[in-house]
Structure 1
Amino acid sequence: MTAQSTVFGKRREPHTVIIARGNSVSHFTVRPWIAALAGSVVAAITLGYFAATSYLVFRDDLIGAAIARQARMQHAYEDRISALRAQVDRITSRQLLDQQLMETKVTELLNRQSKLSERHGRLGPILEKANAEAAPEQAPLLQKRPDDRADAASGAPALAYASAANSAPFSLWATRDGNDPSESAADRADKLFVSINQSLRSIENEQITKISTLADDAYQTADQISDVLQDAGLPVDADFGKSAMGGPLIAIDNAQAFDTKVRELDVALDRLDRVKKQAKSLPIANPAPGLSISSTFGVRKDPILGTPALHSGMDFRAPMGSPASATAAGTVTSAGWNGGYGRMVEIDHGNGLATRFAHLSRIDVKEGDKVQIGDVVGLTGSSGRSTGPHLHYEVRRDGHAVDPLRFIKIGKKLSQLL
Structure 2
Amino acid sequence: MRTRLAIRIHAAMERVFPERRVFLKSDTDTRFIRLRPVTQLFIGAGASAVVAWAIIATAVLLMDSIGSGNFREQAKRDQDMYQERLNALSLERDARAEEALAAQQRFNAALSQISIMQSDLLASETHRRELETGIEVIQSTLRDTMSDRETARTELAALQAEQAAPGSSQNATTASPAPINFMAEALAQTAKERDQIQENARHALQRAIDLELDLKLKEEQNDQIFRQLEEAMTISVAPLDKMFRTAGMPTDKIIEQVRRGYSGQGGPLTPLSFTTRGEDEPTVDELRANRILSQMDLLNMYRIAAERAPFASPVKAAVRYTSGFGFRRDPKTGGRRMHNGSDFAGPAGTDILATADGVVSHAGWQSGYGRLVKIKHDFGIETFYAHNSRIRVKKGQRVSRGDHIADMGSTGRVTGTHLHYEVRVNGSPVNPMIYIKAASNVFEEQDKRARFQDVR
TM class by shorter-chain length?
Answer: 0.5 to 0.7
C-alpha contact 1:280 1:329 (8 A) present in aligned 2: yes
C-alpha contact 2:380 2:426 (8 A) present in aligned 1: yes
Change (3 A) 1:208 1:65: closer
Secondary structure of 1:366's aligned partner: coil
Identify the match of residue 310 of structure 2 among 264, 280, 283: 283
Identify the match of residue 334 of structure 1 among 345, 349, 362: 362
Change (3 A) 1:72 1:208: farther
Secondary structure of 1:222's aligned partner: helix
Q: Which residue of 2 aligns with 1:264?
A: 291
Looking at structure 2, the residues matched to 397 and 370 of structure 1 have their Cα atoms a distance apart, in angstroms, of: 19
Q: Which residue of 2 aligns with 1:402?
A: 430
Normalising to structure 2: TM-score of the pair?
0.51
Looking at structure 1, the residues matched to 245 and 174 of structure 2 have their Cα atoms a distance apart, in angstroms, of: 102
Looking at structure 2, the residues matched to 91 and 73 of structure 1 have their Cα atoms a distance apart, in angstroms, of: 30
Q: Which residue of 2 aligns with 1:78?
A: 179
Secondary structure of 1:350's aligned partner: coil
Q: Which residue of 2 aligns with 1:203?
A: 218
Matched, 1:364 2:379: no
The Cα shift of 1:190 comes to: 2.8
C-alpha contact 2:369 2:411 (8 A) present in aligned 1: yes
Q: Deviations over 1:283-334 (max 9, x none)?
A: 0101112322000100100000101110000100111111111111111001
The Cα shift of 1:263 comes to: 3.1
Change (3 A) 1:369 1:253: closer
The Cα shift of 1:234 comes to: 1.6
Q: Deviations over 1:102-143 (max 9, x none)?
A: xxxxxxxxxxxxxxxxxxxxxxxxxxxxxxxxxxxxxxxxxx
Matched, 1:309 2:350: no
Query: Which of the two has higher C-alpha Rg?
Result: 1
The Cα shift of 1:258 comes to: 4.1
Q: Which residue of 1 aligns with 2:383?
A: 355
- Unpaired stretches in structure 2, ≥5 consecutive residues: 1-164, 257-272, 277-282, 448-456
C-alpha contact 2:371 2:386 (8 A) present in aligned 1: yes
C-alpha contact 1:346 1:354 (8 A) present in aligned 2: yes
Looking at structure 2, the residues matched to 227 and 209 of structure 1 have their Cα atoms a distance apart, in angstroms, of: 27
- Unpaired stretches in structure 1, ≥5 consecutive residues: 1-63, 99-183, 241-251
The Cα shift of 1:186 comes to: 4.4
C-alpha contact 2:322 2:345 (8 A) present in aligned 1: yes
C-alpha contact 1:395 1:404 (8 A) present in aligned 2: yes
Matched, 1:226 2:241: yes
Say what the alpha-carbon RMSD is for the aligned residues. Answer: 3.0
Q: Which residue of 2 aligns with 1:191?
A: 206
The Cα shift of 1:76 comes to: 7.2
Looking at structure 2, the residues matched to 317 and 412 of structure 1 have their Cα atoms a distance apart, in angstroms, of: 21
Looking at structure 2, the residues matched to 333 and 235 of structure 1 have their Cα atoms a distance apart, in angstroms, of: 25
Looking at structure 1, the residues matched to 172 and 166 of structure 2 have their Cα atoms a distance apart, in angstroms, of: 10
Normalising to structure 1: TM-score of the pair?
0.55
Secondary structure of 2:311's aligned partner: coil
The Cα shift of 1:79 comes to: 4.8
Secondary structure of 2:337's aligned partner: strand
Looking at structure 1, the residues matched to 201 and 244 of structure 2 have their Cα atoms a distance apart, in angstroms, of: 64
Amino acid at match of 1:225: L
Q: Which residue of 2 aligns with 1:44?
A: none
Amino acid at match of 1:322: T
Looking at structure 2, the residues matched to 409 and 235 of structure 1 have their Cα atoms a distance apart, in angstroms, of: 18
Looking at structure 1, the residues matched to 175 and 285 of structure 2 have their Cα atoms a distance apart, in angstroms, of: 67
The Cα shift of 1:272 comes to: 0.5
Amino acid at match of 1:341: Y
Q: Which residue of 2 aligns with 1:235?
A: 250
The Cα shift of 1:354 comes to: 0.8
C-alpha contact 1:343 1:363 (8 A) present in aligned 2: yes
The Cα shift of 1:219 comes to: 3.9
Task: Name the structure, 1 or 2, with higher relative contact order (CA <8 Å, separation 6+).
Answer: 2
Secondary structure of 1:340's aligned partner: coil
Change (3 A) 1:254 1:261: farther
Looking at structure 2, the residues matched to 211 and 307 of structure 1 have their Cα atoms a distance apart, in angstroms, of: 61
Looking at structure 1, the residues matched to 174 and 331 of structure 2 have their Cα atoms a distance apart, in angstroms, of: 133
Matched, 1:380 2:408: yes
Looking at structure 2, the residues matched to 396 and 373 of structure 1 have their Cα atoms a distance apart, in angstroms, of: 17
The Cα shift of 1:189 comes to: 4.9
Change (3 A) 1:93 1:253: farther
Amino acid at match of 1:402: V
Paired residues, number: 258
The Cα shift of 1:260 comes to: 3.7
Amino acid at match of 1:237: D
After TM superposition, list the pairs within 5 Å mapping 1:13-412 onto structure 2: 68-71=169-172, 74-75=175-176, 78-79=179-180, 81-92=182-193, 95=196, 97=197, 184=199, 186-237=201-252, 256-289=283-316, 290-412=318-440
- Considering fraction of residues, name the structure with more helix: 2
Looking at structure 1, the residues matched to 434 and 232 of structure 2 have their Cα atoms a distance apart, in angstroms, of: 27
